[in-house]
Each structure stands twice: as C-alpha cells, then as structure tokens.
Chains A and B, each alone.
Chain A
Amino acid sequence: MTGPDSFRSLFFEEAEDLLGTLSDEVARLKGGDRDSEIVHSIFRAVHSIKGGAGAFALDRLVGFAHRFETVLDAVRSDQLPLTAELLRIVERSVDHLSVLVEAARNDRDTDTTLTDAAVAVLNGCLDAIGQDKAPADVLQPEAAPAFTFTPLALNLDPIEVEPTRTVTIRFRPYPGLYDNGHEPTLLIAHLAELGTLQTELDLSALPDWSSPDITEPAFAWVIRMATNAKREAIEEIFEFVAGLCDLSIEEEHDIPAMPDLPSPSPMSQDESTPATAPFVMTETTPASATDGLGPRPTLRVDLDRIERLFNAVGELIINQSMIAQRVDDLQMHHDTDMSSHVESYRLLARDIQEAVMAIRAQPVKPLFQRMSRIVREAAEGTGKQAQLVMLGESTEVDKTVVERLADPLTHMVRNSVDHGLESPERRLAAGKDPVGTIWLSAAHRSGSVIITIRDDGAGLDREKVLRVAVTKGLVPAGTELSEAEIDNLIFQPGFSTASATSLLSGRGVGLDVVRTAVQALGGRVNITSRPGKGTEFTITLPLTLAVLDGMLISVGGTSMIVPIAAVLETIRPLPGDVEQIGPDERLLSIRGRYVPIIDLAETLGFPRAEADDPAMLLLLVETEARGTCALLVDRVHDQRQVVIKGLEGNYGQVTGVSAATVLGDGQIALILDPDGIAAQSHPIPSQTSGQRVAALP
C-alpha cells in the first residue's frame, strides 16, 4: 500500500469513522443531551474531514465542510442558540457531508444545486447573527496543514509517509558479506538515493596490524541520514545482506507527539525479518469517547499483509484436510496417537482461521448509520414519516461483506420506505402511528450473518404483485402460486415497481439486482410479508467470503462442492417415492410434499456416469427460485471446508457455479450455486429427456 491512492483510501476510511461519530453525536443532541462537549466533538469531526479533503483537492467537500464548520463554531461559542430548527440543519448538513464524501470516494459528481442549497441554509444561520463568512481557519488557529488531518492515524503510521527525520544506521558487515559479492559502498550509494547522508567510518574494530587475521574485514559504518523515506524502503536496501552483517536502524522523529517506536534490535545472523515490525501500537481515541469504556488499544496493519495471511490460512486449511484425508486412507485405526495429532492439527488450523477471520471482521454499525440518512431522504422524497431502529449494530462481518452490502442495503431500505410504508394519512386511518418504523437488525446465527430489514407498513399487495407479474409476462395468466411464490416475484428481473413513479424509483433498479448482489456474496435474501402488518426482508450471509463449508459430491465423473448452507438432507428414495410428471419432470414425494427433482448432470451438460448403483441419490436443497428441490447426484463423498477461489478474475460468471476451490490433490472443483441451477432447470425443454426417462430406475 503505497502511493497517493493509499493515502486517499486512508482518508476515506477516516472520514467514514468521523461520519459515524457525527451521526452518534447528532443522535445524542436529538436525544436532548446538551453536553457542550458534543458540539465540540462535532466541530472537530467536520474540521478533520475538511482538512483531509483539502489534502486531496476535494474542493466541493472542502467548501461545504468549511461553511458547516463556521456554523458549528458559532454554536460552540454560544453565538448561535442550538434550537430544534438549527439541530435539524446540523443533521441535514451531516447527511449532505456524507453524500459529498461518498461522491468524492467514487469520483462521482453530485448535484451542485443541492450543495448550493445546503450552503445557503448554513449561510442563513450566519446571517442571522450577522457573522461574515470568514474562513474558519481564522477562527481556528490550529488549522491543520495537509496530511495532519488524522493526527492519530496518518502521522503515526510508518508504513505510510514519514516526516523528514534523522535515521541512524549502524552497519557492520561480516566477512561473509564480501564473499557473496556484496559491496558495502554500493549499499551506501543506494541509501543516498533516499536522503542526505552523513557517513562515518568506524574503525574501532580494526584489528592490530600485527594480527595474523588481517584479511578479516573490520570496517563498520555509522550513517546519519535525513530522509522522509519509509522505514521499509531503507530496510529493503539491506534485504540481501540480512544475516551477513550487524544492522540497526534508529529513527528520531521531529514530531514530539510521536510515541516511542519499538527500539530496533540489531539484525543478527539468524534473523531474516526486519529489525522492527513496521507498524506501531497506537490508541484510537475517537473524538467522542463517551461510552465510558475508554479507548481500546488497536493496531493498524497494512491490508495487504492481512490478505497474505488470509490466503496462507486458506492454504493451511486445504493442507490440513489433505493430510487428514491421507491419514484416513492409510487406515491407521490403531495408531490413536497419530489420530489425536491429526485432530489437534485440525483444531489448531480452525483456531487460526477464526482468529484471522476476526481480524477482517468489522461491525456493521457504520453501514447501518448510513441507512438513517437514506430513511430520512426517502421519507422526505415521498412525503412519509419514518424512523429507523437499529438492532445489533455491533455485529461483526467480514470487511468485504460490509463494503459490498452497502448498495443492496441502501436499495432495500429505500424500497421499504418508498413502497413498504404508507402515507401518514393512511396509517392514521388504519389506526397506526403516523410515523412508520423501519427496523434494521444484524445477528450471528449458526455460522451465518442474518440481516433483516423490516417495516410496519401495509405489507405486499399480493393481488397487485401478481397482476404486475402477469402484465410483464413473468408468469402466465391464471397461474396458481403460493403466497411465498408471489412474494418472491418481486425479485424477478423485469419486475419493476415503476407503477409508483416516485422521485426515488429513478435512482434505483429492481430488487433482482439486490438478490444478485447478495448471491454474489454467497448469501440469500428472503421475503415474508403480512398484509396490513408489514414486510420483512432477511439477508443470510456467510461469515466470511474466503472459506465455505461444503459437501463434496460427484456428478458425471466430476467432483463438485455444494454449499452445506443450502443442503437440507441427503435422500435415497424408494422407487415409489419418485413420480414421473409428463416426459420431462420427476417429483420426489417426501413427507407428504412433492419437490421437483433436478438432474444435475443434465442441467450442467455433463455426461451421466454409468449407473453401477441404480438407486437414486438426492440432495435436498433450499432455493429461492423453486423452493425446495432435489438434486440428483452420482455420489456424496464427505463434508469439508474449502477455500473459495473466484472464477471471475480470469474467466467470467458461469450459471450454476458460484466459484471454485482447489482439492487436496490439486484438482479444481467447482462450487455449485443451487439457486442458479434451479433457475436454469426450470422449465426443462430437454431433447434428451427420452433417454433420461429410459434410464429411470
């Protein structure tokens, strides 16, 4: 992580935190808390965002933050009373600030008229007290120069830019260094590229001229260097001589607030790692440490390093299952010692995996907080009244999941206000509170993350949904559908809710996009609706994107993985349990229900394996498209954890396949997507159906 881009992303990370703080503090004000520290905290957060934005020439953001800051400054100096009206302006301004941050992050343009309007509102406040719109920097003598906008993060992070400082390098080569073709003067010349050097030759260790061991080189150097290079860059120069010299790199920072770096230890012969770990322990002190728990020590680590660790752990898990498999194959039943070692290895590997996953885990809180703005905007745009209630915001989810959930969640929350909640008049008429409520909750449940978006609106109008679906040709007229099937129609591509041509619908797309996005994360989305009571969307996501619990099966001679999460049970039906419906479809009768049988080999276009075992083997899976389905497979081997490898990078998406994994023998196995398969197999206009029927048991 180097170069300006990394600073930029660091800024946006920081801005995200600050917006979270703003959201918290505004909520406290709204709750009636008038602690003067709150306004100070809000001011500082806005100021920090402004400073950072300035460093990246995000002018519009700077301009707006500047005006906002000026108003806040007037509030904290008691020039402006914090009325309910002003509080609402502050809240809106925070919203607008996050819009601008988001736009800047995505290099998108925003509607200037909105910003102009927001600025005008702020100016109005200042006009009221007759304050001119002087630059806040005048009011703020400590105004930050570029790159000090995150005083606790950026400056302290040595893997990022370093201030110019003096670095003292002590370098004493061993004889072996010369024997390996190294030349100390070259290393020093290379160092000179990173800064200004002051080199001292240390002859103290020079042997007596009369010593017989005169060939032993004994020069050492003390190099003082004024540089702003990263420590890593300096260490890199000495990479090849690690172990061939004594080396110490000491840094003296000019910034007094700098905490002590771990003191560097000389690189000794057995050390090939850098003398000091390139990160710094620091304490995050959020602008408002109001939770009373005090700051917790945290560690900022380059994401690439975590990524590397993550991948290595993935390989470790593969390796572990490989070894377990081999040991199993050897049938060392009697060697209980070996078995217990293998078992300890498995448990250890899982522990490491969980610990590593925890590193990437992030609370959903910032994501949820963004939704309160969405609710406000959507309510304003549709003339509705809405409040957002958040539950389980501290639930932690993989970083990538949090990031990739933002868009679908935004869409669903907007959808809930736009289409779920009724107008205040209709709510009153129905005997409800005119203010609708949206509940947003997150929780962990048996290896998954469950996120729900619930509203207390009118519920789905199933008649209307069905009518729209028929009009759009999504289902033939006269089709008998269950309530759940009707509800799920709204996820169909092409089912647009455009009949409500609200201001908001223009921004979004159909809910099918939500479903696709959630599925791309290996998750599912479900809907339940009760007329007059409301609608609930449930998103079920895997805890991590990297590892999946799967069932190893084979179809047409090819090994594949089915996600365990989708599998209900495996069944060997009796011949009487299978019914032929028409030429193409077979149904499995199970506990009084009929579920469609999907021939996996045929659906995937693979040859059916020779049926040496004539009994059918079925996997009952839960799908969005067709409810419960039975997948016809050749064999079920075992359950195992697999490391997910994407196909998209080098190839593209394949229907029915969500990703791939590498098996213990190095072969690739595809990870099936039961949903895609169910959707693909319905209906089944198969030309080979005749043969298939003939092959029926």
Chain B
Amino acid sequence: MMEPQNMQDPASPSGEIELVVFCSGEQSFSLDIRHVREIRGQSAVTPLPHAPEEVLGVMNLRGAVIPVFDLSSCFGLGPTVPDQRNVIMIAMNDARTIGLLVQSVSEIVSIPHSSIQDAPTVVGGPGQSHISGLVQLAEGMSRVIDLPDLIQRRIPVPA
C-alpha cells in the first residue's frame, strides 16, 4: 500500500515536497502528495445516521468501505456546492483511508520544503487545527492540510 514513508522527514533527495493543490469553499488548499492514493470523480455516497455535517457518508473503494468528508465543511466553509469539477481525493494516513470531497483539483506543484511557512496562530475558526502551514503559490496563498490531525479529529471512535 502507498504508505507515506516517514512523513516527518521532509528531505526528499532534493529537499522538495510535492503538493496536490485544490480548491474547496473557494479557498486554496494543498496536501502532501504522499498522502494521496488517487483522485476520483463524484461517486455514490451512502449517508450515515446522525453523522456530523462534514461526514457525507461512506463509499465503496474496491470493496472497502471508506468514509467521505466534505473538506469545505471540515474547515467551516459550508457544504461544497455541487459542481461538475468536484472530485473525491482518496487520502491515506497510517492504516486509515478516507475520501475528501473537494471543489476542484488545480495542479501538483513541487516546492522546496523550506518555503512552507508556519500557519499564524491568530487565525481562528473551526478548521484552524487541521492546517500544518501556508505556502505562497503563483495563484496566491494555499493552506497545507495536516491530514493526520484531520483524521484524528474527525473520526469519532478510534477503531
């Protein structure tokens, strides 16, 4: 399986990090490509009872049942507006696989790890804790998602 190899170690041979950049709730986010298993179009999602707003339900990923989160809701930006370009990013951390519904994927960039700045602590809001840093791209500022934190906080009972 695509086990992210030692996420603490940013030093790939070149000191570069590759990010999948995407848009959610009209804002730019990015995720270390080592977390990304695949990107799929909108798939059928079965709702879960009494799930929080950001949990859209579960989907079938080659026979496995994985939860799908609305990334926009996770960051308190309201539900994702349905659109042709919406995709579900299949992301993985440790043994857990989840789907993240995002508005649209923009690009994959390769940047020096040193260009990621710490997220300023003054920014409040419900999604603040899932951000590990900020990165300045050509199109503007993008927030780098802390996937382990997101999974840990959004999944109710550790299995």
A648 within 8 A of B: yes
B50 within 8 A of A: yes
CA–CA, A666 to B50, complex, Å? Answer: 23
**Contact A645:B48 (CB < 8 A) given known A650-B96, A653-B156, A653-B157:** no
The 6 closest A-B pairs by CB, nearest first: A652-B157, A604-B49, A648-B159, A651-B67, A668-B46, A652-B156
A683 within 8 A of B: no
A654 within 8 A of B: yes
Which chain B residues border A645 with CB–CB below 8 Å?
A: 63-65
On whether the beta carbons of A670 and B48 are closer than 8 Å, the reply is: yes
Partner of A650, one of B47, B51, B97: B97
A494 within 8 A of B: no
B44 within 8 A of A: yes
Which chain A residues border B58 with CB–CB below 8 Å?
A: 647, 651, 660, 668, 670
A646 within 8 A of B: yes
Cβ contacts B46-79/A at 8 Å (1 or 0 each): 1111110000011110011111000000000000
Which chain A residues border B96 with CB–CB below 8 Å?
A: 649-650
The chain B residue sitting closest to A651, CB to CB, is B67
**Contact A606:B49 (CB < 8 A) given known A646-B65, A651-B58:** yes
Cβ contacts A623-666/B at 8 Å (1 or 0 each): 00000000000000000000001111111111111001010001
Cβ contacts B79-115/A at 8 Å (1 or 0 each): 0000000000000000111100000000000000000
**Contact A669:B155 (CB < 8 A) given known A650-B65, A650-B66, A650-B98:** no
On whether the beta carbons of B60 and A662 are closer than 8 Å, the reply is: yes
**Contact A647:B49 (CB < 8 A) given known A653-B156, A662-B60, A667-B44:** no
On whether the beta carbons of A657 and B44 are closer than 8 Å, the reply is: no
B158 within 8 A of A: yes
**Contact A666:B48 (CB < 8 A) given known A645-B64, A650-B65, A652-B157:** no
On whether the beta carbons of A652 and B158 are closer than 8 Å, the reply is: yes
In the complex, number of A-B residue pairs with CB atoms less than 8 Å apart: 81
On whether the beta carbons of B60 and A666 are closer than 8 Å, the reply is: yes
On whether the beta carbons of A670 and B155 are closer than 8 Å, the reply is: no
CA–CA, A143 to B130, complex, Å? Answer: 59
CA–CA, A354 to B3, complex, Å? Answer: 36
Minimum distance in angstroms from A474 CB to a CB of chain B: 23
CA–CA, A242 to B67, complex, Å? Answer: 40
CA–CA, A656 to B48, complex, Å? Answer: 10
The chain A residue sitting closest to B46, CB to CB, is A668
On whether the beta carbons of A315 and B63 are closer than 8 Å, the reply is: yes
Partner of B46, one of A311, A315, A669: A669
On whether the beta carbons of A654 and B65 are closer than 8 Å, the reply is: no
CA–CA, A342 to B107, complex, Å? Answer: 49
The chain B residue sitting closest to A661, CB to CB, is B65
List 19 extra interface pairs beyond A311-B63, A647-B58, A654-B156, CB under 8 A: A315-B63, A603-B49, A606-B49, A645-B64, A649-B65, A650-B67, A650-B97, A651-B155, A651-B159, A652-B157, A652-B158, A657-B49, A660-B46, A660-B58, A660-B65, A662-B65, A666-B60, A667-B60, A668-B59
CA–CA, A646 to B51, complex, Å? Answer: 17
Minimum distance in angstroms from B149 CB to a CB of chain A: 16
On whether the beta carbons of A670 and B63 are closer than 8 Å, the reply is: no
A558 within 8 A of B: yes
On whether the beta carbons of B48 and A649 are closer than 8 Å, the reply is: no
Report the count of interface residues on A (CB-CB < 8 A): 27
Minimum distance in angstroms from A674 CB to a CB of chain B: 13
Which chain A residues border B157 with CB–CB below 8 Å?
A: 648, 652-653
On whether the beta carbons of B48 and A657 are closer than 8 Å, the reply is: yes
On whether the beta carbons of A558 and B46 are closer than 8 Å, the reply is: yes
Minimum distance in angstroms from A610 CB to a CB of chain B: 17
Minimum distance in angstroms from B76 CB to a CB of chain A: 21
A685 within 8 A of B: no
CA–CA, A662 to B155, complex, Å? Answer: 22
CA–CA, A668 to B158, complex, Å? Answer: 22
Residues A129-155 near B (CB distance < 8 A): none
Cβ contacts B7-49/A at 8 Å (1 or 0 each): 0000000000000000000000000000000000000101111
Minimum distance in angstroms from B4 CB to a CB of chain A: 16
CA–CA, A660 to B44, complex, Å? Answer: 14
A478 within 8 A of B: no
A690 within 8 A of B: no
A605 within 8 A of B: yes
CA–CA, A670 to B60, complex, Å? Answer: 12
Which chain B residues border A655 with CB–CB below 8 Å?
A: 49-50
CA–CA, A178 to B59, complex, Å? Answer: 45
On whether the beta carbons of A558 and B47 are closer than 8 Å, the reply is: yes
The chain A residue sitting closest to B45, CB to CB, is A668
On whether the beta carbons of B67 and A670 are closer than 8 Å, the reply is: no
The chain B residue sitting closest to A311, CB to CB, is B63
The chain B residue sitting closest to A645, CB to CB, is B65
Minimum distance in angstroms from A272 CB to a CB of chain B: 23
Interface centre among A315, A646, A651, A660 (most CB of B within 10 A): A651
CA–CA, A483 to B46, complex, Å? Answer: 41
A-B pairs with beta carbons under 8 Å apart, 19 shown: A311-B63, A603-B49, A605-B49, A646-B65, A647-B58, A649-B65, A650-B98, A651-B48, A651-B66, A651-B67, A652-B156, A654-B156, A655-B50, A656-B49, A657-B49, A662-B63, A668-B59, A670-B46, A670-B49
CA–CA, A411 to B74, complex, Å? Answer: 42
Which chain B residues border A654 with CB–CB below 8 Å?
A: 48-51, 156
Which chain A residues border B155 with CB–CB below 8 Å?
A: 651-652
Partner of A668, one of B49, B50, B65, B95: B65
Which chain A residues border B65 with CB–CB below 8 Å?
A: 645-647, 649-651, 660, 662, 668
